[in-house]
Amino acid sequence: MKPFRNQPSKTEVRNCLQKLFTVIADAQRFANREDTTIAENELAQLWIISPSASKALLKAFEAKLDLDNWMSGVYFLPLGLRAAIVATNKLPRTPDTLWFRLLGRGKVQREAVEELVALPPSDLVRRNVLEIIYRWRISVMAQTELTRDDQELIMNLTQAYEEARAAAVQEGVQLERRQVVENLLRFRFGSVDEELSKVVDSLLQLTPEEFTPLCLELSREDLLARFNSHQ
């Protein structure tokens, strides 16, 4: 997969194809040395991710839709080339295309960010993408000079970045509180076995002022009875 911030030129597409053919040739040489064969559908496939794809660009490489098998926005080059151009501004707004639309520009990217932030906090895609955005923004902001593209990306991803930062802070607070609770239980009972670990989550629903005396004063039996009854 090769993402572009702006629509690639014909030369850039050709350069991508050249790298694809090199990868395929290397794989075929390796297969020959090992006296094996590679099926056509096992060969590398090039996906060029672009914020848009003009009619001129698509015509130059004879890239066409395959709506019987693929969604709109995915334009396949002739079969033997094993390549496609994905125009993010033409993709349908579905969960399956969210990651690709985040690589788009302007309104497409902003809408994708809004969809990302609206996902449940437990959603794996949301967590992973927000973590990537969080780390990316930190690295970009460390640069002394930002390009216009960098500035646009930062503007579009600000909402997602703030979500990622808040989530990271909250996760750190929760981890620290969990460690405090587990240390209190180890101090009282020597270890946190399977039974005690079941009450940790319940204790974390309380404030430190509430869970500290419970951990230090209640017996093991009282702790288990009190919190197991709420599960």
State the Cα–Cα distance between residues 72 and 219, nearest whole angstrom.
63
pLDDT in tens, 189-200: 888 888 888 788
Q: What is the pLDDT of residue 144?
A: 61
Q: What is the pLDDT of residue 157?
A: 72
- Considering 52-61, 173-182, 215-224, the range whose residues carry the highest mean pLDDT is 52-61
Cα–Cα–Cα angle for 120, 121, 122, nearest 5°?
Answer: 90
190 torsion bin: left (phi>0), alpha (psi -120 to 50), beta (else): left
For the segment 191-220, the average pLDDT, to the nearest whole number, is 83
Residue 230 pLDDT > 70: no
Q: What is the pLDDT of residue 140?
A: 66
Q: What is the pLDDT of residue 137?
A: 66
Residue 229 pLDDT > 60: no
Q: What is the pLDDT of residue 169?
A: 67
Per the model's pLDDT, the better-predicted residue between 83 and 119 turns out to be 83
29 pLDDT band, cuts 50/70/90, is: very high
Angle between helices 208-217 and 220-228 (to 10 degrees): 130
Whether the model pTM is above 0.75: no
For the segment 146-150, the average pLDDT, to the nearest whole number, is 73
State the Cα–Cα distance between residues 132 and 96, nearest whole angstrom.
18
pLDDT in tens, 121-140: 778 877 777 777 767 766 66
Residue 98 pLDDT > 80: yes
Residue 165 pLDDT > 80: no
Per the model's pLDDT, the better-predicted residue between 83 and 162 turns out to be 83
Mean pLDDT over the full length of the chain: 85
For the segment 23-35, the average pLDDT, to the nearest whole number, is 94
